[in-house]
Chains A and B, each alone.
Chain A
Amino acid sequence: MKRRPEPLRVGPALAARSGAPRASGHGAHIELPRERTWLMHAAIAAVFIAIAGQTVRLAASGETETRLARAEPLHQTYIRPDIVDRRGNLLATDVDAASLFADPAMVRDADLTAEKLVALFPELDATELRRHLADSTRRFMWIKRGLTPIEAQRAHDLGIPGLGFRREPRRVYPTRYLTSHIIGHVDVDNRGISGIERHIDEIGETDAAAAPRRSQREPVRLSIDLGVQNAVADTLADAMKQYKAQGASGVILDAASGEIIASVSLPDQDPQKFSGADDDDRKDRVMAGVFELGSIAKTVTLGLALDDLGASLTRIYDTREPLRFGRYTIAEQYPPGRPLTLAEILVRSSNVGAGLIAMEAGVARQRAFLDRLGLLDTIRTEAGPVAKPLLPSHWGSLEGVTIAYGHGLAVAPLQFAAAAAGLVNGGIKVRPTMIRQEAVPSGEARVVSPATSAAIREALRQAVINQHGTGRRAELEGYEIGGKTGTAEQPGKGGYKEKTVISSFFAVLPASAPRYVLLLSLFEPQGTAETKGKITAGLNAAPMTARLIARIGPMLDLLPDRVAGAN
Chain B
Amino acid sequence: MPRLAAVATVLLAVASAFVLYAVTYETRRLEQHVAAQARTIEKTRLDIAVLRAERAYLARPERIEEMARKIGLGPIEPRQYEPLTAAGERHK
Question: Residues of A with Cβ closer than 8 Å to B?
Answer: 59, 62, 64-65, 89-91, 93-96, 172, 174-175, 177-178, 212-214, 226-227, 229-231, 233-234, 476-479, 550-551, 553-554, 559-560, 562-563, 565-567
Contact = CB atoms under 8 A, between A and B. Distances in A.
B45 A213 contact: yes
B60 A563 contact: no
Contacts of A550: 75, 77-78
A234 B65 contact: yes
30 contacts: A64-B28, A65-B35, A90-B52, A91-B56, A95-B46, A95-B50, A95-B53, A96-B49, A172-B53, A174-B53, A174-B54, A174-B60, A175-B56, A175-B60, A178-B62, A213-B46, A214-B42, A229-B61, A231-B61, A233-B62, A234-B62, A234-B65, A476-B78, A478-B78, A479-B78, A551-B76, A563-B83, A566-B83, A566-B84, A567-B83
B70 to A, nearest CB: 15
A560 B42 contact: no
A521 B83 CA distance: 34
Contacts of B27: 59
Contacts of A233: 62
B50 A174 contact: no
Given A213-B42, A231-B75, A559 B81 contact: yes
A212 B53 contact: no
Given A90-B52, A95-B53, A175 B61 contact: yes
Interface in B43-88: 45-47, 49-50, 52-57, 59-62, 65, 75-79, 81-86
Contacts of B61: 175, 178, 226-227, 229-231
B31 to A, nearest CB: 6
Given A96-B50, A175-B60, A567-B84, A62 B31 contact: yes
A554 B53 contact: no
Tell which of A174, A550, A553 has the most Cβ of chain B within 10 Å.
A174
The 3 residue pairs across chains A and B that have the minimum distance between CB atoms: A566-B83, A230-B61, A174-B56
B28 A554 contact: no
Contacts of B55: 90
B49 A94 contact: yes
A61 B60 CA distance: 47
B31 A64 contact: yes
Chain B facing A: main interface SS: helix
A560 B53 contact: no
Nearest to B32: A64
A93 B52 contact: yes
B45 A553 contact: no
B85 A566 contact: yes
Given A62-B31, A64-B31, A95-B53, A230 B76 contact: no
Nearest to A93: B53
A129 B28 CA distance: 44
Nearest to A149: B50
B49 A95 contact: yes
A233 B60 CA distance: 13
A262 to B, nearest CB: 11
A82 to B, nearest CB: 8
Contacts of A95: 46, 49-50, 53
A358 B77 CA distance: 42
Nearest to B24: A59
Given A178-B60, A559-B81, A212 B52 contact: no
A280 to B, nearest CB: 25
Contact of A93 (B49, B60, B79): B49
B76 A554 contact: yes
Nearest to A179: B60
Given A95-B46, A213-B42, A476-B78, A89 B56 contact: yes
Contacts of B49: 93-96, 214
Contacts of B52: 90, 93
A240 to B, nearest CB: 16
B85 A567 contact: yes
B82 to A, nearest CB: 7
B81 to A, nearest CB: 4
A177 B56 contact: no
Contacts of A551: 75-76
A65 B34 CA distance: 12
A566 B45 contact: no
Contacts of B62: 177-178, 230, 233-234
Interface string B21-44: 000000110010001000000100
A182 to B, nearest CB: 15
Given A560-B78, A563-B81, 18 more contacts: A64-B31, A89-B59, A96-B49, A175-B57, A175-B60, A175-B61, A213-B46, A214-B45, A214-B46, A227-B61, A550-B75, A551-B75, A551-B76, A553-B78, A554-B76, A559-B81, A566-B86, A567-B85
Given A89-B56, A174-B57, A96 B75 contact: no
Contacts of A566: 83-86
Nearest to A234: B65
A172 B52 CA distance: 11
Contacts of B54: 174
A178 B75 CA distance: 18
A226 B78 CA distance: 21
A91 B60 CA distance: 9
A495 to B, nearest CB: 41
A235 B78 CA distance: 17
Contacts of B86: 566
A476 B79 CA distance: 11
B23 to A, nearest CB: 10
A94 B79 CA distance: 43
A560 B45 contact: no
